[in-house]
Structure 1
Amino acid sequence: MKEKKFYLNIILTVVVSYILIKFIDNYRYFFNIINLLFSLLTPFVIAFVIAYIFNPIIIFLEKNLRFKRIQSLLFTYGLLLIIIITSIVFTVPIILNNIIDIINQTPLYIDKTQVFLIEIGQSLKNIDPNTLKDIGDSIMESLPKLSTLFAGYLGQIFNTTFSVGKFIIQFILAFVICFYILLEKEDFLLFTKKTVYVVLGKRYGDFTLEVCSTLNSNIGKYFSGKLLDSFIVGVLSSIGLYFIKSQYALLFGTLMGFMNLIPYFGPFIGIATVFLINLFYNPIIALLSLIYLLLVQQIEVAVIEPKIVGGQLGLSPFLTIMAVTVGGGFFGIPGMILSVPIIGVIKIYIVKFVEYKYKDIK
């Protein structure tokens, strides 16, 4: 019996070693399969995110207006269609024209920056001219490289996350999947629950469903609240920038709303972008834009977010920044947005585990 077990362990070790060697030798092939799998699952992930957003609306219509499920879905989808068409007609052309104009003006921005640096160099006459020349030459050489690097980096993020044609198809498919998820959500949840118990048993099944329930609650509340919070920030930013006479007010307001979804980094990236581009046109307007957007952020942090989103899942700034960095590194912008509630749930169970073990030690 022991000999059989010994030989079985040897065979198992050889098989596992062979599989690992083959995996290492053909890692690109396996990574391509994983990427393909992620690509195929993307519409389903988007569908579940949309379902999180739509579910409170569906519940409200059914409870308060006595709508049937199909009526609630048709009403919600119809309302969304009206919003999309309105956005396309009134806002999308303006935003696209603003983006095109910024791209066309980029060489002018670089020229103005160079002139500004030359003027600074001329005002610093007491410093050794050769030193100034070397510094100036280094900056001049780096500007085109930095702009190219920045444009390439942004392009890489948005190409990875929002590949236009592919993303549109996935998005449309996600709405179709979301429709059926919400239409049959009770049956879907019941079947999932039964499957978990069959596969994992009673003990681990209870734990898995508890984790899923906590994750569902945290992601649903956080994501829905953060969307509404960011929408308000975007509207306030657009209106304020318009009255300040900022360049590209609608585009910058949309940018501020979108960047507000990304904790810590997002708002500051948005504010810096608005300030720098306005600086090329009118320094006073740039300064007013900076002050106004900082004020909006303070109102958002102190008033809007606590009322709508609630607490930040008990995450410290360190954990939040780590979550955003890791999530963005693996999954782009969606990873940045969803990483915070997911890490928040993981933290809840790690703290529970540590406290439980600590009691045993004491």
Structure 2
Amino acid sequence: MQSFPLTVRRSIELVGLVVLGMVIIYGQQIIMPLLMAFFMSIVLLPVYRFLVRKKFPRVLAIFLALLLMIIIITGIMFFIMMQTKPVISDFATIKQNILNHINELSAWFSEKTSISTAQQSQFANEQSKKILDSAGQYLGGAAGSIGSVLIFFGLLPIYTFLMLLYKDILKQFVYLWFPQQQHPKIKDALAETESIIKSYIAGLLIQITYITILLGGGLLIMGIPHALLIGVIFAVLNLIPYIGALFGNILGVLLTLSSSPDLSDVITVLITIAIVQFLDNNILMPRIVGGKVRVNALASLAGVFVGGALAGVPGMFLSLPLLAVAKVIFDRTEQFKQWGVLFGDKLPQKRNLLKRKPKAPVKK
């Protein structure tokens, strides 16, 4: 491909990106569990290697590592379910608080505009009817989504088990694509990829824990209703780079409004979230991950939206580690090195990126 003209090479790269996007869109139910299993198998590698060193059989070591992963995920899901029970039991109070806030907002809106409360109620009833009429159309899609989620979590442990079992075959498959003299570079890329994924995903698990403790505990001390649930929701949504924190703030405010008649509680929630987010972004998370995921903010944000458009919520969660792995590969190839520069966070040191050619000496 290096023998082709530059325009032809760039055209092939763009066509390859389009084909890759189509493959992800139409094959996401197969690709997403495989990618998640790939990441989880790398995270479980230290546990697997530890058990193998302790003379456990390989199959038993993989089974025990998977069992540990299932126990952790089940514990997180059980904790979330326990926190949602008080919300369900307080449904009557939540409904009354929502009606009070709506009435206050309606009265304020009537004062600021010429639209009366009756007109607002009529508009709200019309919109509610439209929503109810179209709700049936989404029930089939929701049922399909639930089925996809069940298939996803059903295939995940199976794929993870098989990837750990056949990891040496997968490595050999990668090496056979390249000539012998490039194998040291491939080995270095695989080692860095493993280090990045382990640091990133293990860091996310730690991040969920300390955000839940800091935010949920802080709000609990201040007497905010459903404090731990707000902490869990924000911690989980914060896994989506940049936009996850925004949705976490919105849901935290909505949950507080529905649970408390006092607007000062909303301000307390927003201030506490801002403090926890500052500690997370500037002190805690950089020390945990160690700055290994060196992807700039523009590429991360674009990756989140592209991943969401191509593969939904799983694509948004996996966008940043996939970009980090892609950058490791691009940095080690001459053909795609410019993509590594585009994804990276290292700014050029010189202002003038294009060097001027020296002037030819004047002949006397």
C-alpha displacement of 1:293:
1.6
Counterparts in 2 of 1:183 and 1:85: CA distance versus 1, 3 Å: same
Match of 1:285 among 261, 265, 278: 265
**Structure 2 residue identity aligned to 1:221:** S
CA RMSD of aligned residues (A): 4.4
Distance (Å, rounded) in 2 between the aligned partners of 1:169 and 1:331: 15
Q: Is the 8 A contact 2:304 2:319 kept in 1?
A: yes
Match of 1:91 among 79, 84, 94: 79
Mean CA deviation greater in 165-174 or 344-353: 344-353
Counterparts in 2 of 1:218 and 1:85: CA distance versus 1, 3 Å: closer
Distance (Å, rounded) in 2 between the aligned partners of 1:221 and 1:143: 51
Mean CA deviation greater in 207-216 or 292-301: 207-216
Match of 1:111 among 87, 92, 99: 99
Q: Is the 8 A contact 2:253 2:269 kept in 1?
A: yes
Mean CA deviation greater in 291-300 or 274-283: 274-283
TM-score, normalised to structure 2, is 0.67
Q: Is residue 332 of structure 2 the alignment partner of residue 350 of structure 1? A: no
Distance (Å, rounded) in 2 between the aligned partners of 1:266 and 1:118: 30
Aligned residues: 312
Structure 2, unaligned stretches of length 5 or more? 1-21, 332-336, 343-347, 358-364
Q: Is the 8 A contact 2:52 2:61 kept in 1?
A: yes
Q: Which one has the bigger helix percentage?
A: 1
User: Is the partner of 2:291 in helix, strand or coil?
Assistant: coil
Distance (Å, rounded) in 1 between the aligned partners of 2:143 and 2:42: 20
C-alpha displacement of 1:224:
2.9
C-alpha displacement of 1:111:
3.1
Distance (Å, rounded) in 2 between the aligned partners of 1:256 and 1:162: 27
Match of 1:40 among 30, 46, 57: 30
User: Is the partner of 1:164 in helix, strand or coil?
Assistant: helix
Q: Is the 8 A contact 1:325 1:336 kept in 2?
A: yes
C-alpha displacement of 1:175:
0.6
Distance (Å, rounded) in 2 between the aligned partners of 1:293 and 1:341: 25
C-alpha displacement of 1:327:
1.6
C-alpha displacement of 1:183:
2.9
C-alpha displacement of 1:335:
1.7
Q: Is the 8 A contact 2:308 2:315 kept in 1?
A: yes
Distance (Å, rounded) in 1 between the aligned partners of 2:182 and 2:118: 65
Distance (Å, rounded) in 2 between the aligned partners of 1:107 and 1:315: 44
Partner of 1:265: 243
Q: Is residue 212 of structure 2 the alignment partner of residue 234 of structure 1? A: yes
Match of 2:167 among 185, 189, 202: 185
Counterparts in 2 of 1:203 and 1:35: CA distance versus 1, 3 Å: same
Deviations 1:279-317 (A, max 9, x none): 341323222222212111111112211111222734333
Q: Is residue 66 of structure 2 the alignment partner of residue 77 of structure 1? A: yes
Distance (Å, rounded) in 2 between the aligned partners of 1:184 and 1:47: 13
Deviations 1:115-159 (A, max 9, x none): 12233246x4xx6xxx4327995698369859998xx99x98xx7
**Structure 2 residue identity aligned to 1:133:** I
Q: Is the 8 A contact 1:227 1:261 kept in 2?
A: no
Distance (Å, rounded) in 1 between the aligned partners of 2:214 and 2:122: 37
**Structure 1 residue identity aligned to 2:300:** T
Q: Is residue 312 of structure 2 the alignment partner of residue 332 of structure 1? A: yes
Structure of higher RCO (CA pairs closer than 8 Å, 6+ residues apart): 2
Counterparts in 2 of 1:171 and 1:69: CA distance versus 1, 3 Å: same
